[in-house]
Homo-oligomer: A and B are copies of this chain.
Amino acid sequence: MSSLDTLKARLLEVDDLSNAAALLRWDQTTYMPPEGAPARGRQLATLSRLAHELFTNAETGRLLDAAAKETASLPFDADDASLVRVTRRNWEQSVKMPTALVAEFQEHSALSYQAWTEARPKNDFAAVRPLLEKTLELSRRTADCFPGYQHIADPLIDFSDYGMKASSVKQLFSELRAKLVPIVRAITSRPVADESCIRQHAPEADQLGFGVEVIRRFGYDFARGRQDKTHHPFMTKFSLGDIRITTRVREDEITDALFSTLHECGHALYELGIDRAYEGTPLANGTSSGVHESQSRLWENLVGRSRGFWEFFYPRLQQVFAKQLQGVPLDAFYKAVNRVERSLIRTDADEVTYNLHVMLRFDLELDLLEGKVAVKDLARVWRERFEADFGIPVPDDKNGVLQDVHWYGGPIGGAFQGYTLGNILSAQFFATAVKAHPGIPGEVKKGEFGTLHGWLRDNIYKHGAKFTAPELIQRVTGGPLTIGPYLDYLWGKYQPLYGLREEERLGAGVA
């Protein structure tokens, strides 16, 4: 048996433990009764500890060295060479963290998540504050395992978007903000689109049924997945044969569950498309948070909020919600699902203002980690900054600092930048796909997604984590990440929708 094979067997065992932990988390967020939480935290700590011990021990390092020699003559993009390269990168990251810290963080996150599920509906930030303080401390201790960073957030950003730093994200966000703000201003100077047609009662089962119908057409494979309800939708994977999504439903809006379903389906299509030969290895994952979000946002927005998509699906939706949508023309509906307005909730935000929500959170993460903002002041600071950025008051914490699960179920730092990276990349990838296959928009109008899905699978999905995000973007688009296609996409869509004038695109400057 080669060292590579021995390494693979060991990785498979690590994978089994990690996937068992993922199932424990999925269960906690979907079905677990409340009193299961303390033991669940302990179980997650034990599984994470064992997985971390097994992955980081010296024998794994020796196997990696030996496997590197065995694969030295292979080309860069050969599966086995990539496996060794990517595993070594993960290993070098993991060995720097003490197992006890990893386990402690897992257990704490499980308890903190549980507290958040109760605190959010009660609008009770005080109940989670001590837990959030602990989360911040654990996040800092995690970052401090990587001495020599420029910014304390850098190691945490590295976990989700390898190669990015606080400084590079800040610069990118600053450029993007400068271009976005004029568009937001221009749009919000127009009358708000009428959304009354979608703001109607819509039974849960009908909403879920329609969403399932759409994602089946996208190519979501229910033999390898399922959808359940949860507090905060997510995608998770227990093997390449079991990739699940979750959603949530408010019955006061026809499309409430839909876009969350499409979003998570985009994540799932990415993972479902990974080469199944990578099963049980670090290659069997999306390569970064940004690339992952590019797929959720591509299917949710560039496809799911496009006029072509609704040319096909709107008549079907009118059948499902006959009473509600009778006599509502396609264009009115299309405008409603693409209304742009400054609003309170990130996950409900339109494509244009969405990134401002992300930037707010990203800046707060940096300030928290740097100690510029204390957790005890976070709810207040959130409200102040939100009002400054969006010009609308935050009525309560459940529509403010309690709205997102991220800080309550994982580290502070690295949690949010991926959403905006994903928005940018979704347009960059989509433009590349359409350039390669100009027929894609026409197919979307017919409810056909095979060419688009196939291109994404062949160019992005199947590679899993073989290439880093920068490597992948270069391979797929021929250049680095760039905001041009995203801004062109937004302008191309919203200029006609809101009758914007070309000079408004440039605006008066940076907000």
A interface residues, Cβ below 8 angstroms from B: 12-13, 16-17, 19-21, 23-24, 27, 31-40, 42-43, 45-47, 50, 221-226, 228, 238-242, 244, 279-280
Given A33-B242, A46-B13, are A39 and B223 also a contact pair (CB < 8 Å)? no
Q: List the 9 shortest-distance A-B pairs measured between CB atoms, nearest first.
A: A39-B239, A36-B242, A35-B241, A16-B46, A16-B43, A35-B224, A36-B241, A20-B20, A35-B223
Taken together as a complex, chains A and B put the C-alpha atoms of A123 and B46 apart, in Å, by 42
Task: Considering the complex, give the chain B residue whose CB is closest to the CB of A47.
Answer: B20
Q: Judge whether A19 and B31 touch: CB under 8 Å.
A: no
Residue of A24, A35, A223, A226 with most chain B CB atoms under a 10 A cut-off = A35
Q: Could you tell me if A36 and B222 are in contact, using CB atoms closer than 8 angstroms?
A: no
B239 and A31 contacting across the interface, CB-CB below 8 Å: no
Q: A20-B46, A43-B239 are in contact. List 16 more A-B contacts (CB 8 A).
A: A16-B39, A17-B47, A19-B39, A19-B43, A20-B24, A27-B27, A32-B242, A33-B224, A33-B226, A33-B241, A35-B241, A35-B242, A36-B239, A38-B239, A40-B238, A50-B50
Task: Say yes or no: A224-B13 contact (C-beta < 8 A), given A20-B43, A23-B23.
Answer: no
- Chain B residue numbers with a CB within 8 Å of A47 are 16-17, 20
Q: Which residues of B contact A223 (CB under 8 A)?
A: 33-35
Cβ-defined contact, B225 with A33, below 8 A: yes
Asked if B24 and A224 make an inter-chain contact with CB atoms under 8 angstroms apart, the answer reads no
Q: How far is the CA of A75 from the CA of B35 in the complex (A)?
A: 33
- Are A226 and B40 in touch, CB under 8 angstroms? no
Known contacts A23-B23, A36-B242; A31/B228 CB under 8 A: yes
Instruction: Please state if B36 and A238 are interface contacts (CB–CB under 8 Å).
Output: yes
Is the beta-carbon distance between B12 and A42 smaller than 8 angstroms?
yes
Cα(A37)–Cα(B279), bound, Å: 14
Q: Nearest Cβ distance between residue A236 and chain B, in whole angstroms?
A: 12
Listed by A's residue number, 20 A-B pairs whose Cβ atoms lie within 8 Å are A16-B45, A17-B46, A19-B43, A20-B21, A20-B43, A20-B47, A23-B23, A23-B24, A23-B27, A32-B242, A33-B224, A33-B241, A35-B221, A35-B224, A36-B241, A38-B241, A39-B239, A39-B242, A43-B238, A50-B50
Bound Cα distance from A52 to B103, whole angstroms: 21
Docked complex Cα distance between A88 and B33 (Å)? 32
Distance to closest chain B CB from A177 (angstroms): 42
Known: A16-B47, A47-B16, A47-B20. A39 touches B238 (CB 8 A): yes
Minimal Cβ-Cβ distance residue in B for A224: B35
Note all chain B residues with C-beta closer than 8 A to A34: 223
Residues of chain B within 8 A of A50, CB atoms compared: 17, 50
A39 lies within 8 A of B241 (CB): yes
CA A244 – CA B31 in complex, angstroms? 10
Closest to A279 in B: B39
Q: In chain B, what residue has the closest Cβ to A244? A: B33
Instruction: Using A23-B23, A23-B27, A24-B23 as known contacts, say yes or no to A16 and B42 having CB atoms under 8 A apart.
Output: yes
A18 to chain B, nearest CB (A): 10
Residues of chain B contacted by A279 (CB below 8 angstroms)? 39
CB distance from A117 to the nearest CB of B (A): 13
| The one of B13, B21, B46, B224 that contacts A36, using a Cβ cutoff of 8 Å | B224
User: Which B residues are CB-close (under 8 A) to A23?
Assistant: 20, 23-24, 27
> What residues of chain B lie closer than 8 Å to A37, measured between beta carbons?
241
Q: Name the residue on B nearest A37 (C-beta).
A: B241
A53 CB to nearest chain B CB (Å): 11
Q: Which residue of B lies closest to A226 (CB)?
A: B33
Given the interface pairs A23-B23, A36-B238, A36-B242, the reply to whether A226 lies near B31 with Cβ below 8 Å is: yes
